[in-house]
Amino acid sequence: MAAPTSLRDIPQSHIFRKGDVFVLFGELFGRGYANGLVNEARAAGMTIVGMTVGRRDENQKLRPLTAEEHAEAEANLGGKIINVPLMAGFDLDAPEGEPTPTDLLAPLTLKSWQDDKLDWAQIERCRAVGVQRFKDSAARAMAELDGLVPDGSNVFFAHTMAGGIPKVKVFLAIANRIYKGRGERFMSSRALLDSDLGKLILMNFDEVTANTFQYLIDASAAIRGRVEATGGQARYTAYGYHGTEILIDGRYQWQTYTNYTQGYAKKRLEDVAKAAWEKGIKATVFNCPEIRTNSSDIFVGVELSLFPLLNALKHENGGAWADVQRQACADLLKDGVSLQDLLDQIESYNADGVITEFRDFDRWPMDNSPELAEVMIGTSEAITNLHKERTALVTDLLSALVLEGTGPLMFREAANPAGPVLWLNHDVIARQLNQLHN
Ligand SMILES: NC(=O)c1ccc[n+]([C@@H]2O[C@H](COP(=O)([O-])OP(=O)(O)OC[C@H]3O[C@@H](n4cnc5c(N)ncnc54)[C@H](O)[C@@H]3O)[C@@H](O)[C@H]2O)c1
């Protein structure tokens, strides 16, 4: 049986310093995972360079950032942003004058989508255009980056791209049902995957979430070769997701959010890192825990695995600081609701037979089921209702902590990585946080 390869010890290596360059391949959002790495790079005194996905004009044509947008993005990152649009995926690409995949999806309705067929020859033409556009843009961006990387310096490429949901009304309605629906509103993720619409979406996920890591590795070959020839080193990291070990019943156990439709693309991302590694390129996918960000908020229930982090902080010898976190979480709950009751509720959720059935590493990513939706979405709603405010949740606080813990773990491990695919579970994250704060 395959098993996760987990980082168990806090890494001690450190090679990045002032004069070295940190490159963020993707945009930086307030709650996004990438903040953890950017903070480490800044603290190490590295030169920070970012990319943009660009923006779309009123005709959906991709354009660079305006001067104002560019200045705002650079202030947000605290570094230079190379203004070449790196929007991945092909949902809005097509040969000149021909329909894009988004155009092909326009006639689909909530009634018809499961039987609607797509023109795969046309989709393949669009995919080819989108891939070439991205590769050409990545080459231009790397040519600009080249001038910012001194000979002999170390370069850290941090890939953060994930996504690829086409912006069509019908899919927003379907996604709302698959990820948020229970009872009469439940929708099967298998029905989506078996449809032409689902097949197209998976192809687009592959492009955005996985293939861009390969394109980055390829496009930066010249920079990698030059720094290595002059005494420096190049490293590549990407954020994966493939379930997480959390404390359940007193021991760390692997669990996952279901249905994680992007899971196929995340497996492909792991394969990209493995293939690069075999060629001697130090590329590592760090499979990270579930947190709440702009990208994950659509998955109702994904946040439930965060609560046991409070137990992990204690379990890993957390001191006064861990107690303060626990109290800060307790303060977010309604009067009369105890944090222990909430944690007990999560413990019984994790012991529920409907949920344990999905703890099957070999069959990941599994399809959802009406029973799962009932228990998971029901628990998520019940727990949210225990808070004073829906806008200040325990999982906001815990997400920020996980993000903070992953920063130094990934930054240090990337200096001397143990392999191409590593899991960061609640054990090592809790230990890292306790070490940072005690
Ligand atoms: N949130 C989680 O629970 C979780 C767990 C494990 C791994 N991750 C991974 O962490 C990474 C960062 O995600 P996050 O959750 O911090 O959210 P985020 O929204 O902050 O980041 C998403 C990133 O994807 C980029 N992106 C989105 N669509 C794109 C497109 N079409 N082309 C190019 N780039 C595009 C954005 O610019 C941004 O950099 C992703 O790879 C995500 O899968 C997230």
Give me the pLDDT at residue 438, please: 83
Give the residue from 305, 290, 302 showing the smallest Cα distance to 252. Answer: 305
Ligand 1 atom with minimal separation from the 31 CA: 20
Give me the pLDDT at residue 295, please: 87
C-beta separation of 387 from 252 below 8 A? no
Cβ neighbours of residue 362 under 8 Å, at least 6 residues apart? 1, 2
Question: Angle 273-277-279 (CA atoms, 0-180°, nearest 5)?
Answer: 125
Domain locations in the chain as residue ranges: 21-437
Mutate to test the pocket of ligand 1, among 264, 293, 422 (most ligand atoms within 8 A of CB): 293
Cβ neighbours of residue 132 under 8 Å, at least 6 residues apart? none
The correct CATH number of 21-437 out of 3.40.50.720, 3.50.50.60, 3.40.640.10, 3.40.50.970 is 3.40.50.720
- Give 155's strand partners: 21, 234
Give me the pLDDT at residue 2, please: 73
Residue 346 in contact with ligand 1 by CB distance below 6 A: no
Mutate to test the pocket of ligand 1, among 100, 161, 285, 395 (most ligand atoms within 8 A of CB): 161
Backbone angles phi, psi at 359, to 5 degrees: -85, 65
Through-space distance between the first and last CA atoms of the chain, rounded to whole angstroms: 38
Residue 210 in contact with ligand 1 by CB distance below 6 A: no
Give me the pLDDT at residue 50, please: 98
| 320 Cα: distance to centroid of ligand 1 (angstroms) | 33
Give the residue from 353, 254, 357 showing the smallest Cα distance to 308. Answer: 254
Q: Distance of alpha carbon 252 from its chain centroid, rounded?
A: 22
Give me the pLDDT at residue 1, please: 45
C-beta separation of 17 from 45 below 8 A? yes
| 348 Cα: distance to centroid of ligand 1 (angstroms) | 31
C-beta separation of 90 from 130 below 8 A? yes
Nearest CA to ligand 1 atom 26: 161
| 161 Cα: distance to centroid of ligand 1 (angstroms) | 5
Residue 291 in contact with ligand 1 by CB distance below 6 A: yes
- pLDDT 10s digit of each residue in the chain, 438 long? 478 899 999 999 999 999 999 999 999 999 999 999 999 999 999 999 999 999 999 999 999 999 999 999 999 999 999 999 999 999 999 999 999 999 999 999 999 999 999 999 999 999 999 999 999 999 999 999 999 999 999 999 999 999 999 999 999 999 999 999 999 999 999 999 999 999 999 999 999 999 999 999 999 999 999 999 999 999 999 999 999 999 999 999 999 999 999 999 999 999 999 999 999 999 999 999 999 998 898 899 999 999 999 999 999 999 999 999 999 999 999 999 999 999 999 999 999 999 999 999 999 999 999 999 999 999 999 999 999 999 999 999 999 999 999 999 999 999 999 999 999 999 999 999 999 998
Give me the pLDDT at residue 3, please: 83
| 27 Cα: distance to centroid of ligand 1 (angstroms) | 9
Residue 239 in contact with ligand 1 by CB distance below 6 A: yes
